[in-house]
Structure 1
């Protein structure tokens, strides 16, 4: 695996993880209490956001622009 591919996988993974965390946190206030949170929905939505992030990263990652 080339160094460029490794850098892309790392950058895309970090971006996807951040997106998933942000999505999960954004969904929590929709429940009145922590016990009322529909965790399956939160996890599913966060996972979908992560997939969307990876697909978006295929178009390019600004973090990697200008690097060798």
Structure 2
């Protein structure tokens, strides 16, 4: 379950942080696009909703990455 967990000694923390940040940024962008698209379909785009949903998605992505990232191989 925690194969490439950031807390394992064999995982490079700097490499993990870079990969987790890239993943979180992608998640934020995807959430923003989806939220804007949905709000546009409903006829009202609320900037606060878009920003808050996107930031929350980014935080959740980072927390999920703590359990391990397949891109970061342990030695």
TM-superposed CA distance for 1:31, in Å, is: 2.7
Cα separation, 2, equivalents of 1:29 and 1:10: 29
- For structure 1, the 5+ residue unaligned runs are none
Poorly superposed stretches of 4+, deviation over 6 Å: none
TM-superposed CA distance for 1:36, in Å, is: 3.1
Normalised to the residue count of structure 2, the TM-score between the two structures is 0.75
Larger RCO: 1 or 2 (CA < 8 Å, sep 6+): 2
TM-superposed CA distance for 1:39, in Å, is: 0.8
Which residue pairs with 1:37 in the alignment?
45
- For structure 2, the 5+ residue unaligned runs are 1-10
Cα separation, 1, equivalents of 2:65 and 2:55: 15
Root-mean-square deviation over aligned CA pairs: 2.1
Structure with bigger helix share is: 1
Paired positions, count: 64
